[in-house]
Amino acid sequence: MEKELRTLLVRLLKDEVTMQSWGITNIKIDNSSLKFDVSGMKYIGTVSICVDNCGYKIHIGTKSFLASIDNVISILDNEIERTENYISDLSKMIY
């Protein structure tokens, strides 16, 4: 497994509450990529992250992003879970 992928996994695991909010399942890891399914407020489907020369290439549905280790979680969260009125939307779901 590439060092960059290990670094990404550690970063994701340190932010487990955010990952749990995505409804993450079916995690698959190989030498240079990570693939999983999510069931978030904004996106339901498969996410894949590959190690790239410039950082990480993220594929969420038909969208693609290039990310550094410092912004990979915020990109994922903004595409999968965070809505414009997140707290209000969460309250509506709970009550």
Q: Which domain holds residue 8?
A: 3-94
The pLDDT tens digits for 72-84 are: 999 999 999 988 8
How many domains is the chain built from? 1
Average pLDDT over residues 45-63: 95
The pLDDT tens digits for 1-40 are: 789 999 999 999 999 899 999 999 999 999 989 999 999 9
Which DSSP helix (H) or strand (E) runs through 73? Answer: helix 72-80
Give residues with Cβ within 8 angstroms of 30, minimum separation 6: 1
pLDDT of residue 10: 93
Distance separating alpha carbons of residues 82 and 17, to the nearest angstrom: 13
